[in-house]
Structure 1
């Protein structure tokens, strides 16, 4: 199954959370913080959204920082993704 975002939506896959602290302590799953850095998997076409023209500036493969509680989590074939609007993306990580 393939997910194709509509309008100004972006499909992202969160990158794995750190398993160690900076000092080398290994964290159990319950203590790991939800990662905010993700990889763009699919991008909608943009167009007119709420009466405004939206140009998509993201592309597949970009690493981004997304708002912590934005979007809708979806599970496809055992993998978890988040579907959110482009304006919920805070930055591109270079």
Structure 2
């Protein structure tokens, strides 16, 4: 993980999504058009939190989030998602 030049505000976090599966368990290759959006990733930046509500996630945490959560963001040639902490479902 490289240092990001973006600092999320309040209760927002930046997540680097995990790579989408390219092959099924039985060995069938999945074409790009049929790949599912990943629903897990790693936190790469966190905001300061809201007043009286500190964030419970930290940089490096592996998290699960909703399929359509967050806003897609491309930075330094990599894809990221920026979302509110409340969009995160669980820490793995």
Q: What is the TM-score normalised by the length of structure 2?
A: 0.90
How many residue pairs are counted as aligned between the two chains?
89
1:61-80 per-position Cα deviation (integer Å, ceiling 9, x unaligned):
11100111121111112111
Q: Aligned Cα RMSD in Å?
A: 1.1
Q: Does 1:13 align with 2:16?
A: yes
Q: What is the TM-score normalised by the length of structure 1?
A: 0.88
In the TM superposition, structure 1's runs of 4+ consecutive aligned residues that sit over 6 Å from their partners are none
Show structure 1 runs of 5+ residues with no match: none
CA–CA distance in 2 between the matches of 1:72 and 1:34?
A: 13
CA–CA distance in 2 between the matches of 1:54 and 1:21?
A: 41
Q: Would you tell me which structure has more strand in proportion to its own residues?
A: 1
Q: Does 1:39 align with 2:22?
A: no
CA–CA distance in 2 between the matches of 1:77 and 1:46?
A: 25
1:29-66 per-position Cα deviation (integer Å, ceiling 9, x unaligned):
11110110111000111122xxxx22111011111001
Q: CA deviation at 1:13?
A: 0.8
Show structure 2 runs of 5+ residues with no match: none
